[in-house]
Homo-oligomer: A and B are copies of this chain.
Amino acid sequence: MLLTAFQSVRNHSIALCANLETEDYVVQPTLDASPAKWHLAHITWFWETFVLVPYMAGYQVFHDDFSYVFNSYYETVGKRVLRTQRGNLSRPTVAEIYRYRTYVDEHMARFLATDPTDADLRDLIILGLNHEQQHQELLVTDIKYTLGHNPLLPSLGIPIIEYPANPVSAPITLPEGIYEIGYRGGMPGDAIPFHFDNELGVHKVYLAETTLAGQLITNGEYLEFMAAGGYRHFGHWLADGWAWVNANAVQAPLYWHNVDGQWHYYTFGGLVPVDPAAPVSHVSQYEADAFARWRGTRLPTEFEWEAAAHLAPLNWGQRWEWTNSAYLPYPGFVTAGGAVGEYNGKFMSNQLVLRGGSVATPAGHSRPTYRNFFQPDKQWQFTGIRLIQA
């Protein structure tokens, strides 16, 4: 069972990279994104470091220096490579990283075939699967960043539909009351139930009556905001957002280009005209917040979102939906010990929660209690806007 899940997740990482050129794996045009080869090696390193080394008798690490090179933010496991340097590493080569994957996969297969029954180990493996899925989403968004900032705007075959139809859905009205927030166990049909540490600590919140929009904001609606001078009137913006707009001369979502008066965006298929019916993507929280103010309303809180998603089908999954909730610990949140314990808690500073999931999120990875988080100026994820009904 775990072996099947393991192999399925591992294969998906490779499938995403099927059409990359070797060079596409290497560069890092922004600190937010990591090179594809780093992602592939890092998720392999996770299995080697947290499963094979401590649990598989006689396991020999593939290369002594890889722990140093492919660690990310786990301060407890040796000295990190500075994130700024990831894009400067020509070695190990892509081929060597694939050999590393094969080596680790073979050992993992042999190890999982023994059907280990230790519960902690099982939890760790499930964490590893979800960790790899998180990096799968980043693989997609980071490769898009690299190609979308190349002057040749190359196209790439990748199994993602970036601008899907915007599903029709009714607004959801939350009655006033007390709601329970947080992970309460798997849903019926979950193959392998899972949650991250930051979803724990079920707790009550009081919510006033609110109605969430049934649909995401479309490109067409966003174009109206742009046409109305949305980027030029400071009154719509938070002070930090206004500074960001001006410092970066922002005039549109990321990847948008005005070609002879017509807005286009870069997709994996190249530059194409903006589809007014599709949900807007690649907006920062500053943009989402400004758009909401221009409309005379606001973004939902993460609690409203979660309560609504439990109440009725929100049709989420196209875009990570910016909320107006800061990423903070739930009451009773406890950081787990050890390196794995660093997982989420220490990032609870100056980030905002996003809910839902995107076209780049692996199937089955997200759930109504899932808490994604980024700084408010980030645009490189498939982020979108759902409003509270004014």
Contacts and interface: CB of A to CB of B under 8 A. Distances in A.
> In the complex, which range does the number of interface residues on chain A fall in?
35 or more
Interface in A340-378: 346-350, 376
B329 A324 contact: yes
A41 interface: no
Contacts of A24: 90-91
A178 B151 contact: no
Interface stretch (A25-33, A51-59, A114-122, A161-169): A25-33
B349 A239 contact: yes
A88 B81 CA distance: 19
Given A23-B22, A206-B204, A329-B298, A347 B91 contact: no
Interface in A192-223: 203-206, 208
A91 B150 CA distance: 7
Given A22-B22, A298-B329, A329-B324, A346 B239 contact: yes
Most buried by B among A76, A152, A331: A152
A92 B324 CA distance: 41
B88 A151 contact: no
A73 interface: yes
A103 interface: no
A146 B178 contact: no
Given A89-B150, A204-B208, A349 B241 contact: yes
Contacts of A205: 205-206
B151 A68 contact: yes
A347 B240 CA distance: 7
A238 B27 contact: no
A376 B347 contact: no
B152 A91 contact: yes
A75 interface: yes
Contacts of A238: 346-349
A96 to B, nearest CB: 9
A293 B329 CA distance: 12
Given A21-B91, A90-B146, A151 B81 contact: yes
Contacts of A81: 151
Contacts of A234: 75
A325 B328 contact: yes
Contacts of A28: 88
Contacts of A376: 349-350
A124 interface: no
A93 B347 contact: no
A16 interface: no
A69 interface: yes
Nearest to A69: B151
Interface in A68-119: 68-69, 73, 75-76, 81, 85, 87-94
Interface in A293-317: 293, 298
A331 B85 CA distance: 43
A361 B242 CA distance: 30
A154 interface: yes
A329 B301 CA distance: 11
Interface of A: 21-29, 37, 65, 68-69, 73, 75-76, 81, 85, 87-94, 146-147, 149-152, 154, 178, 203-206, 208, 234-235, 237-242, 286, 293, 298, 324-326, 328-329, 331, 335, 346-350, 376
Which 8 A-B residue pairs are closest in the complex by CB-CB distance? A326-B326, A29-B88, A23-B90, A206-B206, A240-B349, A24-B90, A239-B346, A238-B349
Given A21-B90, A23-B90, 5 more contacts: A21-B91, A27-B88, A27-B90, A65-B152, A238-B348
